[in-house]
Amino acid sequence: MADYETINLEDWATGLFRTLFYLSAPYLLWLAFVGIFNPTNVVAHSGFVSSTIALVLTAVASLSPSDASGLPYEVFYYWPLALLLLILIPGITTVYERKRKQLSAADTSSGSEL
């Protein structure tokens, strides 16, 4: 019979905490941003969606053939990719939302002249 190493509760809890912190850090960063700057609802949700996109892309990358060393290098891309997407997607959403409001305001003002 094979000998298995037992895992004590402290090691298990430490590994769980590290994993949860690693995966939830972009969400917590965006949550702090939303709490401090109070963006619109659409922009706030776009940040959470961008964190999810980064997580899914990292998970998909882990399905690809690994490096010859066997190390999971794709996990090193998660935080930089999440940060990049947290800047791009809410930024694009903010610009789009402002343009849409300007266009609807212009349509409203031009409609009152008729």
Tokens 């969606």: give the residue.
49
Cβ pair 61, 77 in contact under 8 A: yes
pLDDT tens digits for 14-30?
989 999 999 999 999 99
**Torsion on CA atoms 66, 69, 75, 81, rounded to nearest 10:** -80
Residue 86 has pLDDT above 90, yes or no: yes
Domain boundaries, the chain: 24-106
User: In terms of Cα–Cα distance, which of 83, 84, 101, 79 is closest to 21?
Assistant: 79
Number of residues in the chain: 114
Q: Is 70 left (phi over 0), alpha (psi -120 to 50) or beta?
A: left
Question: Cα separation of 71 and 19, whole Å?
Answer: 17
pLDDT single digits (tens) 26-84? 999 999 999 999 999 999 999 999 999 999 999 998 888 877 887 788 889 999 999 99
Spatial CA neighbour of 74 closest among 99, 56, 89: 56
Contacts of 53 (CB under 8 A, 6+ apart): 85, 89
